[in-house]
Structure 1
């Protein structure tokens, strides 16, 4: 039990915060839906419930993925967060389906909802809370990728780098982006329905919110399916390769693999060196490179192999192939 609590302390803080906030929001929205019967509010209630469950699973998965390797699982539990995320998106998928169906029924049989001010107040509070969580996810995204920003740069730089963030952070970022946008959309639909005869607006908003939820499901599913299989991280490969080539004793890099498992990177690299160097010198090079690479954020283990210099630059050729 003590080990479990220690692991939970290492879980994604943004996912835990988002789960708690969405739990509160879903209760408030649910009460408002029961009181008013507003279908856009129903969509938002389902959305918040799905996000709450999803983000709680993400928090648990990100924590358990930090568990140390065992004899049975010598490679560790890094991919566990990807597996949990694959299961979590199924919850959001079911919620999205129900949201779309309810919106479709409302379009066919529009009914004027009640409690205009209740809906406006609840949705406004929800949008503010979701925007707060989204802003926290933006800051954690920048922390994940090692970028410092202030003011409006937090928004622009986090949007540009969200794909480089940890899986848990990325999921919270995407879900709360959709949640904030969905809340604003529901608020607009409520206003349109109140001041015009176009009551179908709430049903249309419900369908759009459901489709946005499906977008998140698809995006997260594809990203984490790749993570479960073991995805090579080309950005980190280029970064580590350039770092290794700065060493004066390294002539070339014919092979490099940086495998991403959850939040962790496993590095295997083959370097070419002068064939005349001694075994002691080679050992010094290996220790030096391992120490340098392991300092990179997220890198947990490094394997360095040697080969003699063939006077052909495989690394430069690799870079040219990528540019072409």
Structure 2
């Protein structure tokens, strides 16, 4: 599927970018002694590990249906994305706040400034590359659904691209904070800027992790599809002449871009049974040809 390929590409780009950035920031943190740069190193290490978790989720979610998993493995992606969000919180957020508090209590002199500045500028370019890739994928998917990018991120059934986009957005803000702290520390000789920037970076990551945890939690408990999509499915069912009414229609995500649709249709109780069986079969096939519908069950009720 093209959309799955786009998500995989986004995750791989983010993994490559964050891996290079983590190494560069680590070297710069040692050379400068900057707490903010150390916080950014932890941030990039967490991001790299999280991209690996996202990739694992992508691969595992594509396994074939089997008797023990009749609806497939799609929710594997939500589980691994949830682990990635927890990783952002613990490794990136909490560790950065701790390092910031330590820097405020035990300030250290600043070493060479310019290697840190050079690394942060290079990191911004690499993060921008990854951020742009994720943004392009989200914007394309949102345009196909006729939604704003923000609204699409709130209701999307695929958390991978959203996770990369929010991680990279936080990373760009974090780089700006670290660069500002490094320059202010060099100009004033006051290490408080490093500590404050590290704490702010940590709090930013905690906020991003909170948003991602909530979304993946919702998807893991079978969140309903967006109302416009449910309304569209209801129109498809109601357009059949033999359907008098649609008293119940449920559509829940069982994986990225995979809906389970369960419909009750009110029919004429005196109609021919053979014709009804054929009508139900045709309706079910039509639903299965709709984008996102992986499984459809139609139950006639008198």
Partner Cα distance (1:247, 1:145) in 2? 30
2:249 aligns to what? 256
- Of 232-241 and 25-34, deviating more is 232-241
Task: Give the 3 Å change call, closer, same or farther, for CA 113–197 of structure 1 in structure 2.
Answer: closer
Partner Cα distance (1:76, 1:114) in 2? 54
CA deviations 1:157-201 (Å, max 9, x no partner) are 423422233111111121111111111121122222222244311
2:105 aligns to what? 108
Q: After TM superposition, which residue ranges in structure 1, 4 or more long, deviate above 6 angstroms?
A: 8-11
Using the size of structure 1 for normalisation, the TM-score is: 0.83
1:238 aligns to what? 231
The reply on whether 1:304 has 2:298 as its aligned counterpart is yes
The reply on whether 1:292 has 2:289 as its aligned counterpart is no
Q: Does the 8 Å CA contact 1:267/1:299 hold for their aligned counterparts?
A: yes
Instruction: For residue 233 of structure 1, give the secondary structure of its aligned residue in structure 2.
Output: coil
Partner Cα distance (2:272, 2:142) in 1? 38
Instruction: For residue 144 of structure 2, give the secondary structure of its aligned residue in structure 1.
Output: coil
1:127-206 equivalence runs, <5 A = 127-145=124-142, 147=144, 157-165=148-156, 166-206=158-198
1:217 aligns to what? 209
The reply on whether 1:278 has 2:275 as its aligned counterpart is no
Task: Give the 3 Å change call, closer, same or farther, for CA 198–250 of structure 1 in structure 2.
Answer: farther
Q: Does the 8 Å CA contact 1:167/1:262 hold for their aligned counterparts?
A: no
1:152 aligns to what? none
Task: Give the 3 Å change call, closer, same or farther, for CA 140–305 of structure 1 in structure 2.
Answer: same
Task: Give the 3 Å change call, closer, same or farther, for CA 66–252 of structure 1 in structure 2.
Answer: same
Q: Does the 8 Å CA contact 1:130/1:176 hold for their aligned counterparts?
A: yes
Instruction: For residue 259 of structure 1, give the secondary structure of its aligned residue in structure 2.
Output: strand
Partner Cα distance (1:227, 1:11) in 2? 18
CA deviations 1:110-143 (Å, max 9, x no partner) are 3332222211221111112212211211221234
Instruction: For residue 231 of structure 1, give the secondary structure of its aligned residue in structure 2.
Output: coil
Instruction: For residue 255 of structure 1, give the secondary structure of its aligned residue in structure 2.
Output: strand
Structure 2 unaligned segments of length 5 or more: list them: none
Q: Does the 8 Å CA contact 2:7/2:160 hold for their aligned counterparts?
A: no
Task: Give the 3 Å change call, closer, same or farther, for CA 281–141 of structure 1 in structure 2.
Answer: farther
Using the size of structure 2 for normalisation, the TM-score is: 0.88
The reply on whether 1:123 has 2:120 as its aligned counterpart is yes
Structure 1 unaligned segments of length 5 or more: list them: 1-7, 150-155, 309-324
Partner Cα distance (1:148, 1:237) in 2? 13
1:226 aligns to what? 218
Partner Cα distance (1:141, 1:296) in 2? 21
Task: Give the 3 Å change call, closer, same or farther, for CA 127–11 of structure 1 in structure 2.
Answer: closer
Q: Does the 8 Å CA contact 1:33/1:42 hold for their aligned counterparts?
A: yes
State the structure with bigger RCO (CA 8 A, min sep 6), 1 or 2.
2
Q: CA RMSD in A?
A: 2.4
